[in-house]
Each structure stands twice: as C-alpha cells, then as structure tokens.
A and B are shown apart, each in its own frame.
Chain A
Amino acid sequence: MIKKIFKRLGLKDKLLGLIVPFLLLIIWQGAVTKHLFSELLVVPPLTLLNTLIELAKSGDLSSNILASLNRVLIGFLIGASGGFILGIAMGLSPIINRTLSPLVKALQQVPEFAWMPVIILLFGIDEFAKNIFIAIGAFYPMLFNTYLGVSGVPDKYHELAQVYQYKSHRYLAKVILPSALPSIITGIRLSLGLSWVFVVGAEFFGTEAGVGFMMISGRQLFQIDVVMAGLVVIGTIGFLLNYVLQLLEKKLSGGRVAFDGGIA
C-alpha cells in the first residue's frame, strides 16, 4: 500500500535525490562538531541558515540583491539591445553580415574578464564601468540568437510576404520578428543569465553594494557564513531567472511545434 503511494508520487526517485545532500549535511555537521576544521573555514549548516535569516532581517540581503539586479538590468538592456539591433541588421543584410562578422568573431575571442582592465582604465570603477562590463557579456548571446532567428526565416515565408507585397516595417513586424521570436527569447535568456554571472565578477572589482560586494567583504572580514550565504543567493537568483525565461520560451514556441499539415 505504502509502496503504491510511493510509486505514484515518484517519491522513491525524489528520495534518491536527497541522499547526497543528506550525507553532505551529516558530514558537514559532523566535521564541525568534531572540530575537524576551524570554525573560520567551515560553519555548521544551522549557522549558515541563521546568517541568511539575519541578513534578510537587517535588510542587507535585499539591498545588496537589488543593487546587483539593478546593474544586471541596465547592463543587460544596453548589451542586449545592441545585440538585438545588430543581429537583425546582420540577419537581413548579407553585406552588413559579411562586413561585420569577422570583427565580431575576432572580438568574441577575447575572454570577458580581459575587458575589465580596459574598462577600468577608460571609465574608472564606477557604476558606468560595471554596466559596460555586463553589457559586453550580454551582447554576444543576444546577437547570435537574433541573427540565427532572422537569417533562419524559411524561404516560404519570404515568398508569402512577397506575394502579399509586405515591405519594410510591416514585413519585419508581421513576418520576420514573429518567425525569429523563439530564437530571440533564447537569446534573452542566455544573455540575462550571463549578465547575472558577470555582475558578481564586476562587483569583485570593488563597489559598495551588491551580492558580489557582500561576498568580497565577507572574505576580507573572514565571515565565511556570509560568503556561503552569497553563494546560496547567486544560485537561487540564477535559477529563478533561467526558470522563468524558460517557461516563457516554451509558452511562446508552444503553439507552433513543427507543423506542416497534419492528418485530415
């Protein structure tokens, strides 16, 4: 009877997935109580939970998260809109594509963090520099996915637009963009995800607020619980951003799973 309920809920599988976290918790707690490691290097799970609660209560957590999200949003908007516009231009015009793609490919070879010294030298380490740094990271996935979507509009839709004499903005709005939409949404998801990754890195370079700042100052003050709390926050927000956009992606491309005439 109990077995049946287990099976129906897929509980067995879920329990299996809990083995590793559970063992880790035991080892972790055990290591702390047996004083295998210094309290400075490993804090017990409960302390971490307490730290998270205290950070949340004091408002530190939310103000740091908001500071980071604010940077992400601005950097993402700058980088992704640049990538979007350029992606459309390169997708629509073979001439623009041929002219720009070698340059884009060359610049793309440069690892994101190698730009940081350049940006700091040019703009200092203020807010604007961080926005630019995030924008560079957000730019590429948006550019590539928009380009793929736009250049991948099937010929048959181009023909249809020609027959019905669709031109310029009407053509773009009614045929090209809707057709490229799933790819563009993928671009937004990847682009936003990378922005969230890079904001933490940008904040390591020095700032007064943000999740990355919280972790770096935690490290300097040897508050390992704060550093670990930062990890939990990074993971949770990264997961949520990805999850929400993936839902959107599925929803928007849901109505048009490869369809070319079904059974009569």
Chain B
Amino acid sequence: MSVEKGTLEIRNLSKSYVVDNNQLQILKNINITFPSGAFVSILGSSGCGKTTLLRIMLGLEKQYEGDALIDGEKIKGPGSNRGIVFQDHRLLPWLTVGENVAFGLDKLNRKEKKLLVDDHLKLVGLSGFENAYPSNLSGGMAQRVAIARALANKPEILLLDEPLGALDALTRMYMQKELERLWEFEKITMIMVTHDVEEAIYLSDKIVIMSSRPGVIKKVIDIPSARPRDRASSEFMHIKAEILKEFHLGTEYPFAYAI
C-alpha cells in the first residue's frame, strides 16, 4: 500500500498512565488521518491530551496502544521527516541564531549548512540576524527562528505545539499570517495543537476538536473557505459559533433565556 508522502495516520490509539494504582486514561480510541499537504489543527482545552497526541506523532512518547503511522510506516522515534515547533522557542542560548537554525543540519558541510540557514532565515524574515544571540531577540522573533530551525531540516510534516501561545495578541495575529504564508510556500503537512479557536479557523483546512478526560475526538470540522480568511466575515463567525457550541460556550441560546 503506498501513501502520499507527508501523510500521518492515527489508528485506534489509546494511552493511559497509572497514577497511585489508578488508571488514568489520557487518550481514548483516536482515529484520524492527516492528509498530505493539509493544515490541520487539534483544538481542545488544556488537559485533553492534545499535546500528548502530538508527542506521540513526534516520537517522544512510545508507550501507547494502537498505531501511529507516517507514510504508512510505524513511528519508532523522532526522525528528520518531522519537524517540531514547541510553545517555548527552545533556542539554545549558547548558540547564535544561525547555529540554532543549523542545529539539525550537522551532517551537512559548512557551505550547504550556510546556504540552508540563509535561505530559511530569509524565509522567516530574519536575514542578517544569524550572528545575534537568542537573548537579543523578542518573543516573536525567537519563535520565527524556531520555525526556521524546524523547516531547515526539510520535514514532510511540521508539528506545532501551541507555537504562538507565549506571544501577545497582536504579534500572534501577525505570526498566524506568517505561518499561513510559510505553509503555502513549503507545501508540507502542518499539524498544530492550539486552544485558540480563531487561530484554528484562520489557519486550518480541518479542525479536530477534542474533549478531555478521557481525551477523545469529539468532532472534525472541514473548513473549505478561501484564503486569506477574514476574521470579521460572517462565515468565519458562523464557524466560530459552531465550534464554541462544542465547548458549551455558545452564546445564541443560553438556556436561562430560552423561553
């Protein structure tokens, strides 16, 4: 069976911890396919296991039941076909911006490295910063370097773990636009974990809504709207209302006033 490169499948996946002799179910019977080249968001409140799911796809978590497949093959551990952007930029403070971007390129020679680093810093709009240290960057810039580091490895899939969660609201919106631009440019699969409804709608082809304890997939919503999306459009608002209803946060017909 051949699968298009950059496809990630989760089949009958469950995971539980044992805490003080009590079985604590984190993920229960997850089934989902992330198609090649799509932008998919996993949306849920904290504690729903969405980050655990991402760590399974990354290969950092190995104890679970069921299957996690990349391009039809079982995920055995971290690999260069998947990139990751953590919520904290996780740049190494003792390396320059350029050296951080080259962190995963150790096998290449100096010239190839420099070419890729320059390319990707340019891509995230930070040309000329390769000799700066992370401590001299703002939060948004640091996160862009982290994205460059992940993309420099030429992954088939980019995993994003609440990548914009630590940024202020305005920088966040700007970075959402940047992410969309990068996704359209790189044409790779992107899977983002987030708890920001608007962010998910703005960026995704598909939103996977999860609920907590145990973490299950509640609903999958396809968003066919044209890009770039207008946050103020009625279509956008409509999708937002539909998603909020899933979290019992719908405002249209609050029970007390529904006479």
User: Which A residues touch B141, using CB under 8 A?
Assistant: 264
A261 touches B94 (CB 8 A): no
The A-contacting residues of B in range 160-216, CB under 8 angstroms, are 166-168, 170-171
Given the complex of chains A and B, what is the CA–CA distance between A263 and B141 in angstroms? Answer: 10
Complex contact B93–A255 (CB within 8 A): yes
B74 within 8 A of A: no
Asked if A256 is at the interface of the complex by the 8 Å CB criterion, the answer is: yes
Q: Which residues of A contact B14 (CB under 8 A)?
A: none
Contact B78 A260 (CB under 8 A): no
Tell me how many residues of B have a C-beta within 8 Å of chain A. Answer: 35
Q: Confirm or deny: B72 has a beta carbon within 8 angstroms of a beta carbon on chain A.
A: no
* Residues on A with beta carbons closer than 8 Å to the beta carbon of B104: 164
Q: What B residues does A163 contact at CB under 8 A?
A: 58-60, 78, 84
Instruction: Please tell me which one of the listed residues A164, A181, A260, A264 contacts residue B94 in the complex, with CB atoms under 8 A apart.
Output: A181
- A74 interface contact, C-beta 8 A: no
A168: Cβ under 8 A from any B Cβ: no
> Does the CB pair A255–B133 fall under 8 Å?
yes
With A165-B78, A263-B138 as given contacts, are A160 and B133 in contact (CB-CB < 8 Å)?
Answer: no
Q: How many Å from the CB of B59 to the closest CB on chain A?
A: 8
- Please count how many residues in chain A sit with their CB below 8 Å of the partner chain's CB atoms: 24
Given A163-B60, A165-B78, A264-B171, verify A179-B94 contact (CB < 8 Å): yes
B198 CB to nearest A CB, Å = 18
Question: Is B135 in the interface zone, CB < 8 Å from A?
Answer: yes
A17 contacts B by Cβ under 8 Å: no
Residues of A within 8 A of B95 (CB): 178
Interface check A8, CB cutoff 8 A: no
Q: Chain B residues near A261: list those with CB within 8 A.
A: 88-89, 139, 142-143, 166-167
A81–B150 Cα distance when bound, in Å, is 37
Are A157 and B58 CB-contacts (below 8 A) given A261-B143, A264-B167, A264-B171? no
Q: What are 29 sample pairs from A and B whose C-beta atoms fall under 8 A apart? A: A156-B86, A156-B90, A159-B90, A160-B90, A160-B103, A162-B77, A163-B59, A163-B84, A164-B78, A164-B104, A165-B77, A165-B80, A175-B92, A178-B92, A178-B94, A178-B95, A179-B92, A179-B94, A255-B94, A255-B135, A259-B134, A260-B88, A261-B88, A261-B167, A262-B137, A263-B139, A264-B140, A264-B141, A264-B168
Closest 3 CB pairs between A and B?
A256-B93, A264-B171, A261-B139
